[in-house]
Structure 1
Amino acid sequence: MPAAVPRARRSGRLNVLATLRRDRIGMLGAVLVVVITVTAVLAPWIAPFDPLAMSSGNRLVGPSSTFLLGSDEAGRDLLSRALYGARTSLTVSLTVVTLAGLIGVALGLVSGYYRGILDGVTMRFMDILFAFPTLLLALAVVSTLGPEVRNLVLALVVVFVPSFARVTRGAALAVGAEPYVEAARSVGVSNFRIITRYVLPNVMAPIAVQFTISLANAILVEASLGYLGLGVPPPTPSWGAMLASGKAFIELSMWPSVVPGLFIMLTVLGFNLLGDALRDSLDPRLRARI
């Protein structure tokens, strides 16, 4: 029996991967995510210029053999700044979603498993956070603490914890009512072992989908805060800050606004398409339709 369980899990993973490969839209999202991530990681080696280097004689020029995507109002290469901006955005977003996932999943597991007063208090607090619009809550936290990277990460963690807690709690409630969990309780298995061995592995599917979609939302919120001047402080390249600075020169050149906007759109689109594909492939009811 113990050997059969790993084989069943391997078979399930293979089915999920096969379903993902058949989903062309999902594969497009995966390709976009991989390309953006690889270019962000390799930015120091593939960026044609220093993203902070200014050139007064090359201000607001269009795409050319020298500046492949044009230059901004200070003569800085837009492609280089966009690549380094991808590093900033993905690093902040991945850090935020990972921390929010760890906190939210822990809260959701405890609430869904133990229920009772603990569940009521925790979920009511999550409801309070849900009552605030995402960007407004992030703005309130960053404005109170100040525009620093640490405060930006803290603000976004506060914003994304409720989503993970709610998704995990719902899945944990369903798994906690399964016969094998009741059987484990009846033979004296500790609550911690039940949660980590039986409940958590069986709620990973919705958590994985939530993680992917939250990354897309985190990128949008981070760019929005950067656009409002409350994101990553300059001179660090940021897509939101690039959009804000390019707005003032839109009549002279559209490229300082188009380039960061295009990067944001493709990245968010990739994560959303990948998240939808993961949801379909991990749900047995939807997997048969693909």
Structure 2
Amino acid sequence: MVTDLASAPPPVARRGGGNLLRAILRDRIGAAGLIIVAVMTLAAVFAPLLAPYDPTAMSAQRLAGPGGTFPLGADEAGRDLLSRALYGARTSLTVSLIVVTCAGVIGVALGLLAGYYRGVLDGVITPAMDVIFSFPTLLLALAVVAARGPGTENLIMALVIVFIPSFARIVRGTALSVSKEPYVESAQAVGLSNTRIITRYVLPNSVAPIAVQFTTSLAYAILIEASLGYLGLGVQPPQPSWGSMLSSGKAFMELSAWPSVVPGVCIMITVLGFNLLGDTLRDALDPRLRGR
């Protein structure tokens, strides 16, 4: 009897990919978020094909308005804003995806170790995460980048450090709860290894909160990356990024608002899309909220 209980699948609420997609599309807010995310992702992936000009190519038509040669206008150096916005999407989404993926892998591993093994590991990992979490996110990222210098690699390192505690705390809470369940105790009693218990029982129960945290963290990472780019500590010129475009365009607002409006709208729409998608994912994956 004990062996059967240990070998049985854990009582975790699961949804297939098709069911989850249908749940998102049935929700108008979720569908809107998914469409925004899909459009921005496709724009970033196919930026070389969609951009009408080289994003770094300058011209004499400085601060030109939308229409004519440049569909969305030109910046202070005569560079096409549409092309720079498309390549800026590639920069922001790539950096954010790398950051959140790395932070998620490290944070999930630390959360599993702290929540399942507890004891000394929990006593070391949890206070360390609390210390990092106690700092304002942007301030901590600023400190790391300022200490190591501007650049894409240092930006990614700073943001990974910032986002690790969020994943670790969520997974630790789930691991603490699941490790006390009868099916986990039965698996331990029949001699299953800790690695197998974690991968078979503990980790699957963490998939839903991890998915939601991953989506919302992407939105936050885009904001922080743009903020650091605005301050000149993010991706360095001539590579376009939305934050640096905002920064360079602010000095010419009285002459033309388009160099600031275009990247600002891109940031707003992208962050909105990820937040809408994250909220819908939370509702779809949480049994307590399903059906409301």
> Do the structures match in fold with TM over 0.5?
yes
Tell me the SS of whatever aligns to 1:287.
coil
Q: What are the superposed Cα offsets for residues 189-233 of structure 1, whole Å, 9 maximum, x if unpaired?
A: 000110111111111100000000000000000000000000001
Tell me the TM-score normalised to structure 1 length. Answer: 0.95
Tell me the TM-score normalised to structure 2 length. Answer: 0.94
Q: CA deviation at 1:118?
A: 1.4
Partner of 2:157: 154
Question: Counterparts of 1:18 and 1:267 in 2: how far apart (Å)?
Answer: 22
Partner of 1:50: 54
Question: Counterparts of 1:211 and 1:13 in 2: how far apart (Å)?
Answer: 16
Partner of 1:22: 26
Residue 231 of structure 1 aligns to which amino acid in structure 2?
A: G
Gaps of 5+ in 2: none
Question: Counterparts of 1:21 and 1:171 in 2: how far apart (Å)?
Answer: 28
Gaps of 5+ in 1: none
Q: CA deviation at 1:5?
A: 6.1
Q: CA deviation at 1:173?
A: 1.2
Residue 280 of structure 1 aligns to which amino acid in structure 2?
A: D
Q: How many residues align?
A: 285
Q: 2:103 aligns with which of 95, 100, 113?
A: 100
Question: Counterparts of 1:233 and 1:47 in 2: how far apart (Å)?
Answer: 20
Q: Aligned-residue CA RMSD in angstroms?
A: 1.7
Q: Percent identity?
A: 71
Partner of 2:147: 144
Residue 67 of structure 1 aligns to which amino acid in structure 2?
A: F
Structure 1 residue 37 and structure 2 residue 41: aligned?
yes
Tell me if structure 1 keeps the 8 A contact 2:13–2:287: no
Partner of 1:274: 277
Tell me if structure 1 keeps the 8 A contact 2:103–2:167: yes
Q: CA deviation at 1:176?
A: 1.2
Q: CA deviation at 1:65?
A: 2.9
Tell me if structure 1 keeps the 8 A contact 2:65–2:256: yes
Q: What are the superposed Cα offsets for residues 224-266 of structure 1, whole Å, 9 maximum, x if unpaired?
A: 0000000001100010000000000000000000000000001
Question: Counterparts of 2:237 and 2:128 in 1: how far apart (Å)?
Answer: 35
Tell me the SS of whatever aligns to 2:106.
helix
Tell me if structure 2 keeps the 8 A contact 1:19–1:287: no
Question: Counterparts of 1:69 and 1:97 in 2: how far apart (Å)?
Answer: 31
Q: What are the superposed Cα offsets for residues 70-95 of structure 1, whole Å, 9 maximum, x if unpaired?
A: 10000000000000000000110000
